[in-house]
Amino acid sequence: MLETKDLTIRFGGHVAVNGVSCAFAPGTLTAIVGPNGAGKTTYFNLISGQLKASAGTVSLNGHLLSGLSPSARTHAGLGRAFQLTNLFPSLTVLENVRLAVQATREGAHRRGLNLWSIWSDHKTLTERADQILADVALKSREHATVASLPHGDQRKLEVALLMALEPKVFMFDEPTAGMNAAEAPVILDLIRKLKRDKTKTILLVEHKMDVVRELADRIIVLHNGTLVADGEPAEVIASPVVQEAYLGIAKEAA
C-alpha cells in the first residue's frame, strides 16, 4: 500500500500541493487528473523524491520513504519513468535496458565469479531485456543509440526501463504525450497488461479523459494543489467540481 499523509510543498508563499492524504492499494489503477497547474506532476515528484516535502509523509507497505533519495525510493519499489537525460545516450537501446535489468538482479555480474558464470548471467539479462523491448515494440531499434531515437520511441524506452525495474508501484506521467496516433496504443496496451497483475499499484497522470475512462479504477482530482474529489470514474467525472475544473481541458481536447 502506497500512502501519502498531509503531503505539502510550498514555494515561497505559494502552496503547490496542500495537505494531500491518499492511499493507493495494489491491484488498482488510479488516475490523477486536474487542470494545468493543479499540482499533479508536483505530487508525483514528492512521492518519488525529486522534490522535498515541506510537510507530510510518503510510505510504502508501512515503511516510511520520506527523507529517502529518489534512488533509494526506487530500490524500495517505487517506479517512476526515467527521464532520458539520466540515461546513456551514446549506448544502444538494448544496452540501456539491459543495465536497468541488471540493476535489479543478483548474479555473477555483481560477484566477479568465473568468466563462464558471468557470460551465462549476461545472457539471461540480455534475454530479459530483449523480451521487454519486444513488449514495447522497440525490438527493431535495439541496436540504435538512444540519442538517435525519435520522440515516440524515446517514450517507449522510458516505459521499457520502468518495466525493467520491476517495481511495486508504477508511476506514469502522461505516458503518451507527444506520440502520434499509431504509437500511443502500444503504451496503453502495456498499461492494460500491467493492470492484470493484482500485486502492482499503478498511478497515472493523464489529460486525455477517454484514456482515463477506459483504464482507471479510481480517479482523484487535484485543483490548486488540493484534493477535491476521489472515487469511481463515473461518479467523479460527473461531479460538478470536475465539470468546472475540466471545462478548459475539454475545449483543448475537442
Rounded CA gap, 10 and 54, in Å? 6
Mark out the alpha helices in 6-69 (DSSP H runs): 40-48
Average pLDDT in the 219-229 region? 93
Domains and CATH numbers, the chain: 1-77+167-254 (3.40.50.300), 88-164 (no CATH)
The angle subtended at Cα 195 by Cα 209 and Cα 68, nearest 5°, is 90
The C-alpha cell that represents 99 in the structure block: 543495465
Asked whether the predicted pLDDT for residue 115 surpasses 50, the reply is no
* Sign, Cα dihedral of 155, 159, 162, 168: positive
Among 63-77, 123-137, 155-169, 238-252, the range scoring the smallest mean pLDDT is 238-252
Tell me, what DSSP letter sits at residue 145? Answer: B
Average pLDDT in the 20-34 region? 96
Average pLDDT in the 140-152 region? 92
Rounded CA gap, 179 and 206, in Å? 13
* pLDDT band at 111; cut points 50, 70, 90: very low
The angle subtended at Cα 212 by Cα 243 and Cα 254, nearest 5°, is 60
Ranked by mean pLDDT, which of 47-51, 95-99, 209-213 comes out on top?
47-51
Type of residue at 193: K
* Sign, Cα dihedral of 159, 163, 165, 166: positive
Q: What are phi and psi of 141, to 5 degrees?
A: -110, 15
In sequence order, the 6+-apart residues with CB closer than 8 A to the CB of 251 are: none
pLDDT for 161-196, tens place per residue? 988 988 999 999 888 887 788 888 888 888 998 899
pTM value is 0.84
Beta-carbon neighbour count of residue 14 at 10 Å?
9
